[in-house]
Structure 1
Amino acid sequence: MERTFPPLASLHLALAGIFQTLGRYEEMLAAAERAAEIAAAIGHDRFLAWAEERRGSAFSFLGQPERARAALERAIPLLEGMGDLGRLQIAICNLGEAHRIAGELEDADRYAEQALHVGQRVGNPSYIALDLNNLGQIRLSLGKWTEAREYLERAEEVVAGFTSASTYGAYTPAMLSQLLLCTGDWDGAERQLERALGIAEVSEDRQVLEMIHLTGAELEILRGEPEKAAARLEALPRLEGGLRSLIEATLAWAQLEGGDVQHAAEIATQAVSRAREAGEVLALADALRVCGMVLAAQGRKGEAEEAFAEGLQIARSLPYPYAEARILYEMGKVDEALTIFQRLGARKDIERAEEKLAAPA
């Protein structure tokens, strides 16, 4: 029986990896849990550690950060004890991602740094690029945009050295597009999106494709093309997990800007509920901003103020200064928003705020 089980556990672990790439995170979790059951039944610590890492990563992809942390915190000491640095790097990386989703940005940053150190010991350039991207993404949320750019430029250098196409190669331009969009370099963001999409469409990696289309949709909204943004997001597969809360929030924003307030209200409410129930605190701050915008458009001033106030409290607590400034702008506190936009270097937002302040009362 013991001769049969390890290959069977290996099969389920391999399936978990395939389902991850396809974005079928519920099936990824099921495969990982079956591998964990087999490993526990035969007392195979190595397979159990691998399976726990896959379980934790699946929970993270499904937007369940608390369950992700629990599984990954079980896996990490086992992997450390075995000296399995490759799997350890992935486990620490995804533990950081679970903290990022939950809005625990300082913890996320610490784990991303740890993952990078382990990745450098392993010497796998794909892992190193991924860790640098994660650090760039976290610093972007924290409002440390200069540091975010430095990490992403380092990731660019690593990606440039890839001798063959890699799934991870799409993440760096995808993250750069987000940074450039925030700084107001819309043309630069568009170029990076095109580059990222060219790589991602070959690998069909759901995670990076969602990142790309989410940024692309926001760019279209800001350029006054909400119908294109809505069509882009509505074309994405409606699968559980991933960036679904943010996709719904951005879709609601596009519908609002396109004049479809009723549907915008329905989707915005879904986005807030989904993010709240899953504990996706970072996404909740953005979803509440959109929800407040929709409520204001419906003339529901009191409810809009409540949504903005909650979003503002979350953004300040993380901290997530760009979300804070965008909420302040929607609340009519343009002077406060402008101060933050100027500190961050958000050029387009600065222009918009200055125009609003200069307009006749």
Structure 2
Amino acid sequence: MELGVDRFLRNYVDLCKGKRVGLVTNMTGVNQNLTPTIDLFHEHPDIQVTALYGPEHGIRGNAKEGEKIDSFVDPYTKIPVYSLYGSTKKPTKEMLEKVDMIFFDLQDIGARYYTFIYTMAYVMEACAEFGKQFVVLDRPNPITGTIMEGNLVEKDVRSFVGLYPIPNRHGMTVGEIALMYKHEFGIDCEVIVIPMEGWSREMFYDETDLFWIPPSPNTTGMDMCTLYPGTCLVEGTNLSEGRGTTKPFEYVGSPYIEGYRLAKYFNEKKLPGVLARPVSFVPTYQKHKDAVCEGIQLHVTDRRKINSLKTGLTLLETIAEMYPHDFELLQFGEKKTYMFDLLAGTKDLKELVLNGKTSSFIELCEAETEAFNKQRQPYLLYK
């Protein structure tokens, strides 16, 4: 198997000869031997890197979720690093003055809430506006390019956790998404995708010969990534999604929950590919910091059969039924926006959760993913 970055350096370096290069990346931007793309580009005699751009969590991955990041000069290469998760999420004219083309080399995790694909969208918009080339060095979708789950984001709840009408689990690589942005969603910049070789759509990341580097502090491995299209919805509630533990998005709980009782009721649902185990945990930060929480750990028993979104919704529905006076959906800002709506991509789902009727939503999702699958076909690079 060969990553986009390795194929570029082997075959396509002439694309940037005589041009000033910007690079959107972080610690996941490495080649097969774990050498950072920053170093590979900076040390290459035919590549002139003049700017680096960092997404959420920063270029070195040391910032927590939602934490604003300032621009700075990289101490190793002395190249300016412009933050795309600080005062702006879209590169400004000033940020692009010293580049002719921008490369994108970030590892996505396959769920629409994950902000890297929207950083890519904003960079593409800036490239269109200011006449810069955009090049994607493609990487695998870690939870396969075949399985899709979820609904398409509605216009009135679009945000940086759901900017375009794509499902919760999209089954695409970042290169394929970039092509879809251009041809379906109207971001009209010049896009070049350097595809991988040897990646098959049905592969999970650990079925490749690549090393897994967590793209952010809470993306711990394949079980977490597999569950995330469903359990990320927990963030919109007063439950802990396991941040501040060793098993984020696998642990779900709260001080008001009885773990044994929840595990029993959840397992009685007999959902394919998943079992719950009662757990007790103390988050070190975020919701319920330093408080003893009981709840469950979701264990993936068959990752090709599990429907992560149905799993997450069934869990929330069960907790809402068991603890109707304790379970809450969180609001923020002056407009009292529900975070759950932004994650769900619709304002309708929260009432279905509270009233135990999410099965109707799952049926809707099947039709929407089928439509999305047809829409994405022209942009699939790995048949």
Same-fold status (TM-score > 0.5): no
Of Structure 1 and Structure 2, the greater helix share is in: 1
Length-normalised TM-score, structure 1: 0.38
Of Structure 1 and Structure 2, the greater strand share is in: 2
Structure with larger RCO (C-alpha < 8 A, sep 6+): 2
Length-normalised TM-score, structure 2: 0.37
